Amino acid sequence: MSRTMGRLRRVVGDPLLLPAGRGMALTPRALELRPQVQRAPAGALAALRPPRPVELARLERRFTLRANDAHAP
């Protein structure tokens, strides 16, 4: 985990977490990134989700017949 945090810190250019008492606290930059980071997995899962099945009862088709004058009466 510490290697991953080190890479994140280098990429973001921020420590992301700071000691606070017996725990850790998010830096202002980490708080700013939080909504984007939370949306990322949801977007990836949506992209990988299988397509919805086609509802045949709602399917509409339009056919166009074309013919030249040689076939018209």
Is 66 inside a domain boundary? no
Per-residue model confidence as pLDDT tens digits over 42-59: 888 988 988 889 888 888
Report yes or no: 48 and 54 within 8 Å, Cβ to Cβ: no
- Which CATH number do you get for residue 17? 1.10.10.10
Is 54 inside a domain boundary? no
In b/e form, how buried is each residue of 33-61, taking b as 16+ CB within 10 angstroms?
Answer: beeeeeeeeeeeeeeeeeeeeeeeeeeee
One-letter amino acid at 24 equals M
Average of per-residue pLDDT values in the chain: 89
The pLDDT score that the predictor gives to residue 73 is: 59
Is 5 inside a domain boundary? yes
Q: How many structural domains does the chain have?
A: 1
Q: Determine the structural domain holding residue 14 and report its residue range.
A: 1-40
Is 30 inside a domain boundary? yes
